[in-house]
Amino acid sequence: MPATGPARITATGWGWRYAGRRAPAIRDVSFTIEPGERVLLLGASGAGKSTLLAGMAGLLGGADEGDETGSLLVDGARAEAQRGRVGLVLQDPDSGVVLSKVGDDVAFGCENLGVPAAEIPARVAEALEAVGLAVPLARPTKALSGGQKQRLALAGVLAMRPGVLLLDEPTANLDPDGVREVRASIEHAVAETGATLVVIEHRTAVWADLMDRVLVVGSDGGLLADGPPTEVFARHGAALAAAGVWVPGRAVELPALPAAPADAVPALAASNLSISRDGRTVVRAGLDLTVPRGAATAITGPNGAGKSTLALTLAGLLPEAVGEVVAAVELAGRAGRRPSRWTSRELLTRIGTVFQEPEHQFLASTVRDELAIGPRSRGVDAAAIDAIVGELLERLHLAPLAGANPFTLSGGQKRRLSVATVLADAPPIIVLDEPTFGQDRRGWIELVQLLQSEIAAGTTVVAVTHDEDVLHHLGGHRIDLGAGPSLPATPLDAPGRVRPRPVRPVGARSCRPSARGPALRTSRPRGRRGWTASTPSPRSCSHCCCRCRCSRRSTSRAPWWPSHFSSCASR
Amino acid sequence: MAIALQLLCIPLTGLGALTVLKRMLPILVFAPIAGVSMLLYAEPGGTVYWSFWYATISDDSIALAVAVCVRVLALALPTILLFGRTDPTELADALAQVAKLPSRFVLGVLAGTRTLGLFLDDWRSMGLARRARGVGDSGAIRRFFSMAFVLLVFAVRRGTKLAMAMEARGFGSGIPRTWSRPSRLHPRDLVALLGAAAIMALAIAAAVAAGTFRFVWS
């Protein structure tokens, strides 16, 4: 069994160069981290922080994976030689979970270390208790929220009883609640075990008071700073802020936009809207909202409240489950004013969408081609495309990367490119899903600045965000999904959710001509097909040119779905 | 014969008849397709009923077509009954502990299968993103391949991250592994094995008795 108790980490002139790279990822760092110390590891992106952490965890591999210089030792021995002594939690909640049940996942590390089977259940219970994750052991791991997954990963590490806890941006991909959860868990776990703690995190405000030392890795080797947090932040604050670190007490120097006037003309509007991601399960119902033109609207709310689903519905990418999203008159496409009815090409010049994961929207093999796709698709001539692309490359500081593959860019560059692909078609409405997610201070400022200049130019911006600062700088108009009338529905990924059963067709399957009054809508969850035989009031069919009175409500099915026409045949 | 016996086994697996029927659906659809190709293109023999170019329906081809249909069902049904309620984690435990397959391999595959759900989400988002980028109106096949390629990139990347997470938890450390969920053979495993053998024996015996038994290639 490996020794327990906190461990000491010593680096002497340590460096690492990945095989195939010319420059070392990190070089010439020397320090000693005493047992039980809590260290915040900072540095510009690309300075080699994650490499240093992987080195401490003994995960860099052997000589065929790279060249090592100097030495990096945990308790006087190489970390590879003492697996389980060092525990590492990574940034992406989905990559930290190994097995499909909570109990099995926590036990995984113990099994690998050869802990006797009889001892494992007690260790699992203890680890889950330490991170405050009170869920049944048989709970599927995929049903956990992001914050819970990170705490599960932490529990999996704690069950190995490590002497060092290494956390690589553990809260960068979490919403504020998740951040609070994880931070509390880590604080509790460290207090309980006394383990040495090393954390990489850009959002220092969350961590500063928990840490007793800050190490700053320089971009060109060595350590830039080493000392207590207050001292390091006071002396190197400006340099750290410029490197992308959120230094406590250093505000962002950007103007806050004025709020949109209450009588602003709506660019998009919807009443009694129900939204659904998969066309079967309604996430939210009864939404009444307007998006004012030429201003920013933030969609806020807790995890799983349907923020992204609402954004994608407003963007015309997901069909409405009930109700209609209606765009301003001058935006009308051939099939009318509903974005979900527009063709892909019509959508291009009307509403642009920036996805949460930039890579989902990349199509080309170079940055330049990526930007040219939209303009080419709408038939712009080659010279004009060059002009548009050239201007965007300059404006978004992507010019040096014009020939690079979009997939090889850094997180901040990917985000800028995904925004640039949308700007290339100059749509009057831009919808963004968590645009500041995982961005460091520099990326954040660039993005907010960009959105501000777009709004100043008259663009309507809709942004899903849980970042109060974004909201503040963009004018403060919000659609809050945390309150207001909605389904009694719990979020889709919430534990113990009972999916509303699709309403099955019971009554007549054809349109019933009816002389009855105006539209009557209900906000009941609806199944794949929109039949609601149980509700007696038919309304005018909004799905096709036939102005029949149809018992069928707005369905989640696209209007071109053939069953619609067959059902509306009798008018 | 085998099918009839297998159908009798359904209650033992704890699966509902409706579930079995639903899962059998694709096979019920495909078995006749296999049968039809046999019906039309098998070597003719006996009375020829209908013929068009290479396609000939004769006594022999009809017999073969029916046989192929039945064989597909006889092979598919036990697969569905066996794996209908098998938990992948338990299967992996058994493969590594009882069948003594290398635990590295078994657990690697097990951890990998968990990420399949993430790929489904990726796929959906990519489809929406292509609509948003103005290339969603046409070229569905090209779009499919471009999305498949990106998915491949995601798969490699996710695999690397997962491997790192697993290694960070001591996976592949060379220390002999322990198992918190021991998997052992029970008497009822023997019963199941004997039962399976009995079904096979009965089916073959019935075929021999009826004089219709033929070995695989005859």
Prediction pTM value? 0.73
A411 burial level (CB within 10 Å; 0-12, 13-18, 19+): middle
Interface contacts (A, B; CB < 8 Å): 159
- Domain match, A201 and A91 both: yes
The pLDDT of residue B158 is: 87
- Domain match, A545 and A397 both: no
Q: Rounded to whole angstroms, what are the CA distances from B70 to A176, B3, B40, B62, B101?
A: 59, 8, 17, 12, 34
Please list the residues that pair with A282 across neighbouring strands: A276
Q: What average pLDDT does range A174-193 have in this prediction? A: 87
Residue A10, in any domain of the structure = no
ipTM: 0.72
The pLDDT of residue B1 is: 58
The answer to whether A483 and A458 are in contact (CB under 8 A) is: no
* Residue A244 phi, psi (nearest 5): 105, 5
Contact B165 A90 (CB under 8 A): yes
Side-chain half-sphere CA neighbours of A290 within 13 A: 12
> DSSP letters along A99-149, please?
SSBHHHHHHHHHHHTT--GGGHHHHHHHHHHHHT----TTSBGGGS-HHHH
Residue A524, in any domain of the structure = yes
Residue pLDDT, tens place only, B146-171: 889 889 988 888 888 888 888 888 88
Task: Give the lowest-confidence range in A90-99, A164-173, B70-79, B140-149.
Answer: B70-79
The answer to whether A121 and A75 are in contact (CB under 8 A) is: no
Residue A110: which of B131, B133, B180 has the nearest Cβ?
B180
Q: Which residues of B touch A360 (CB under 8 A)?
A: 122, 125-126, 129, 150
Q: Which residues of B touch A61 (CB under 8 A)?
A: none
A492 burial level (CB within 10 Å; 0-12, 13-18, 19+): middle
- Domain match, A448 and A529 both: no
- Domain match, A438 and A516 both: no
Residue A372, in any domain of the structure = yes
Residue A445, in any domain of the structure = yes
- Domain match, A168 and A301 both: no
- Domain match, A328 and A284 both: yes
- Domain match, A304 and A423 both: yes
3-class DSSP string for B101-164: CCHHHHHHHHHHHHCHHHHHHHHHHHHHHHHHCCCCCCCHHHHHHHHHHHHHHHHHHHHHHHHH
- For B:49-108, CB contacts with A below 8 A are 88-89
Candidates A50, A101, A112, A137, partner chain B, best to mutate (most B CBs within 10 A): A112
Residue pLDDT, tens place only, A235-276: 888 888 888 888 887 778 888 888 777 778 889 999 999 999
- Domain match, A142 and A272 both: no
- Residue keyed to tokens 């490699």: B156
- Domain match, A227 and A170 both: yes
Q: Rounded to whole angstroms, what are the CA distances from B29 to B21, B22, B40, B129?
A: 12, 11, 18, 34
What CATH number has the domain bearing residue A190? 3.40.50.300
Residue A17, in any domain of the structure = no
pLDDT band at A441 (very low <50, low <70, confident <90, very high): confident
Residue pLDDT, tens place only, A3-33: 568 899 999 999 999 888 888 889 899 999 9
Contact A112 B170 (CB under 8 A): yes
- pLDDT at B18 > cutoff 50: yes
Residue pLDDT, tens place only, A467-517: 888 888 988 788 888 754 444 333 333 333 333 434 333 333 333 333 333
User: What is the nearest CA distance from B7 to chain A, expressed in angstroms?
Assistant: 31
The pLDDT of residue A153 is: 92
Residue B171: which of A112, A343, A344 has the nearest Cβ?
A112
Residue A556, in any domain of the structure = yes
The pLDDT of residue A247 is: 84
Contact B178 A88 (CB under 8 A): no
Residue pLDDT, tens place only, A380-403: 899 999 999 999 999 888 888 899
pLDDT band at B15 (very low <50, low <70, confident <90, very high): low
- pLDDT at A521 > cutoff 70: no
Residue A491, in any domain of the structure = no
Residue A167, in any domain of the structure = yes
User: Residue A372 and residue A369: Cα distance in Å, rounded?
Assistant: 5
- Domain match, A473 and A519 both: no
- Domain match, A436 and A335 both: yes
Q: Which domain holds residue A506?
A: 502-571
Q: Which residues of A touch B115 (CB under 8 A)?
A: 94
Per the structure, how many domains does chain A have?
3
User: Is B140 near chain A, with CB under 8 Å?
Assistant: no
- Domain match, A187 and A309 both: no
